[in-house]
């Protein structure tokens, strides 16, 4: 693994909400710490209400994690474009985040330990 990336089990139960709706709760979330960036919580896909997410054509590349696919969150009042990402075929060193989703901390999205 890249020596500046650390993946651990996120302690406790984690919740993600958007537009007032609970998108998911998990006792199996992962915390990815990378260099000087704030840690990111990755939720197992099976713990997220995927009906609220629409896959987009957007993608990005990280030399340490691989190619990220993006999803928009559809709320009652609006669509939050490319607010979620997933490394669907991550590099071997970060294979734990496969089948997990991470959410940008936008005003309309909250990720918190409950």
43-62 pLDDT, tens digit each: 999 999 999 999 999 999 99
Report the percentage of the chain scoring pLDDT > 90: 84
pLDDT at residue 2 in the model: 61
pLDDT > 90? residue 114 = yes
Domain tally, the chain: 1
Q: Give CA–CA dist 40/54, Å, rounded.
A: 21
Q: Give CA–CA dist 9/103, Å, rounded.
A: 17
pLDDT at residue 94 in the model: 95
> Which one, of 45, 42, 52, lies nearest residue 17 by Cα?
52
The string of pLDDT tens digits covering residues 69-105 is 999 999 888 899 999 999 999 999 999 999 999 999 8
Question: Domain range spanning residue 61?
Answer: 5-113
pLDDT at residue 76 in the model: 86
Q: In this structure, what CATH number is given to the domain that contains residue 92? A: 2.170.150.40
Q: Give CA–CA dist 9/79, Å, rounded.
A: 30
The string of pLDDT tens digits covering residues 8-30 is 999 999 999 998 889 999 999 99
pLDDT at residue 81 in the model: 96
Using an 8 Å Cβ cutoff, are 85 and 71 in contact? yes
SS3 46: helix
Q: What is the 3-state secondary structure of 76-112?
A: CCCEEEEEEEECCCCCHHHHHHCCEEEECCCCCEEEE
pLDDT at residue 23 in the model: 96
């Amino acid at each position: 693994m890249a020596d500046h990336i650390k993946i651990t089990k996120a302690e406790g139960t984690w919740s993600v909400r958007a537009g007032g709706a609970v998108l998911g709760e998990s006792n199996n979330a992962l915390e990815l710490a990378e260099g000087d960036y704030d840690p990111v919580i990755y939720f197992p896909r099976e713990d997220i209400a995927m009906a609220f997410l629409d896959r987009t054509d957007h993608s990005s590349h990280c030399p340490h994690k691989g190619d990220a696919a993006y999803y928009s969150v559809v709320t009652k009042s609006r669509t939050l474009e490319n607010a979620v990402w997933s490394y669907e075929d991550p590099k071997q060193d970060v294979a734990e985040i496969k089948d997990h989703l991470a959410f940008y901390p936008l005003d309309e999205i909250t990720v918190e330990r409950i």
